[in-house]
Structure 1
Amino acid sequence: MQKQQSYKQDAGKLYLVPTPIGNLEDMTVRCVKILGEADLIASEDTRNTQKLLNHFEITTPQKSLHEHNYKERVPQLVSQLLAGNVIAQCSDAGMPSISDPGHELVKACIAEGIAVIALPGPTAGLTALIASGLSPQPHLFYGFLPRKKKEQVAALTEMVTQQGTMIFYESPYRIANTIDVIKEVFGERQAVICRELTKIHEEYLRGTLSELSAYLTEHTLKGECCLMVEGAGEPEQVLYEGSYVEQVDALIAESMSSKEAIKEVAKRNQVKKQVVYNAYHAIDTGE
């Protein structure tokens, strides 16, 4: 077990700083403060982050940290943190580690006992979900599905019975095909596409998977998309014919012992085993 009191550590600290997903006004005062006070900013794309820094007149130096260099970069950053430096890590938009780089650095810091401090801020999946009209609780955030159809089908098949709303990220160039595959695996469901979230062209497309698919055959979307699909909902309760005694007798006729049959009838009817036992053996409980 490891106990961490984030703000009481004298050694270096890693701040996870969310950045706007479109509208710069969504940048919090605290995020601006941390980026300005840090010794170094670890950025997914230094060119993209520099635009943000310029807007808020922040002069903190940057180092890139992305999927192609994290193996060599993470040890370098950990060394600086162990030396007492404060590093702010951010991705191009939204929360670090959520479909973006950062998780490897977090794990390395935890292993070294370095404080990891997450700042609250924008995240596309939940922001889109609460305005989608689909049930926000429970929900499952998945992110980007695999690109190959076979792998998509395999991943989606595991989610067929998922009761919560599912949240996916997708490219506007693949969204139509992805929806068709989801419908193929899930069947008809209500779904919502949100694109250009927090930007001037923000748009929600709500309907069934079939309706969205038909719309996309005639329209091309622009901007990253967040796709939300309703869950399977509560499984339907199977109703069994006959009294408890008749159900037990039917199972015994299928070579099940009376003890096993009573247990099974109780389970399928969601009642206590004693209730079925009493009914089968005509025991009067006086109730």
Structure 2
Amino acid sequence: MLSRTAANLYWIGRYMERAEFTTRLMEATLRLSSLSYGVDAARAAWVSALAVVGRGPPPGEATTQGATAFNVCRTLALDDDNPNSVRSTLSKARDNARSARNALTAEVWEAINRAWLDIRDRTSPGGVQTTLSLIDSLKANSRGFEGALVRMLRHEAFWFMRLGSAIERGDNTARLLDVKYYLLLPKSEKIGGALDRDQWTAILETVSARNAYRLLYQAALKPWLVADMLVFRDELPRSIVGASSEVVDLLADIGGRTGRQGEADRQARLRHSRLIENNIEAVFSDGLHEFLRAYIAENNRLDAAISQQFRFP
């Protein structure tokens, strides 16, 4: 496979995963902001959503005045100047899919193209119900892509797209969890209160893990258990360990087929070994924020190593 085609496939995986995550982030924040905790709490929730995707103000800066549901949903879904908006990421996924068209099945191409066409001409997220309708449509398109992808032949095209998805998934979960601990809860609210509980519930909904939490812990919602699940439970595909394990396996699959192994494999295995030897108590002791920022930086280095190992242009 040409290096350019491999890069196209890898970035299809990253962009489609990012589009789905941003869609789920919008949905969870919209539902959280609709609860009766006041205007300030609603604005804080929308500021946090922007911060997760790198569009919010630095933590501690009081710039929440324009953080309304309409403005933030427009930024997250439709803003062409936001490189992480759903429309921007779907557009880039489609461009990469066009370049790698011969490596894709008809179903995968149609799913990506359908997702792009569905949002291409949208000019406004509309009111709450219209926005929820848009979100449902985007989620359906993401499921269509995932369904088409799992039916592909297991070879380089499939593995490179899944590799991009896994790298993106770990990054998204780390950013989401970091923002919750660093920014989301207003200073006037107590930890463990109703707002704190609903924010953790919104995070579980963002990563589609509300029922998974009940199955794994069979306990009332506790922040440290949510953090444990999102970081260390490999049964959850969106956990940091789950994404890390998938990256190791996918690089091994690609290396076994192509014979091309190197620094990316070494970094991925080393990272996964450190993660599975750690635990949530040690992470909290050393600082969750520091752990998550270190993981995000390490994930970026691994992304660069993958690009170099497979000679992405």
Which range, TM-score by smaller chain? under 0.3
Q: Which has the larger radius of gyration?
A: 1
| TM-score normalised according to structure 2 size | 0.23
Structure ranking higher in helix proportion:
2
- The structure showing larger relative contact order (alpha-carbon pairs under 8 Å, at least 6 residues apart) is 2
Structure ranking higher in strand proportion:
1
